[in-house]
Amino acid sequence: MSKKKIKKIYKYECTITGESFKTTEEAQNPNELMTVAAYYQMHPEKDDRPAEIKLKIKNTEEEIVL
């Protein structure tokens, strides 16, 4: 029989958007964590995602607003 490896899961919340996410490693500075969406909101000049991804995100944001 093999032993099942147990991974500890840490839950954090984005300081900007309020979204919560999980990681398998403990953060050194949990107050500084942010989601990818929040990072690109803060740095739009560094947004190098493909156009179809940007369009998909824009459409989901519009659905949430409506």
Q: Can you give the residue ranges of every domain in the chain?
A: 10-65
Q: What is the pLDDT of residues 5-15, one digit of tens each?
A: 888 999 999 98
Using CA of residue 40, residue 42, residue 47, residue 52, what is the dihedral sign?
Answer: positive
pLDDT averaged over every residue in the chain: 87
**Dihedral in degrees, nearest 10, Cα atoms 37, 27, 21, 35:** 0
Please, which residues bridge with residue 11 across strands? 22
19 vs 38: CA distance, rounded Å: 10
Q: What is the pLDDT of residues 16-27, one digit of tens each?
A: 888 898 999 999
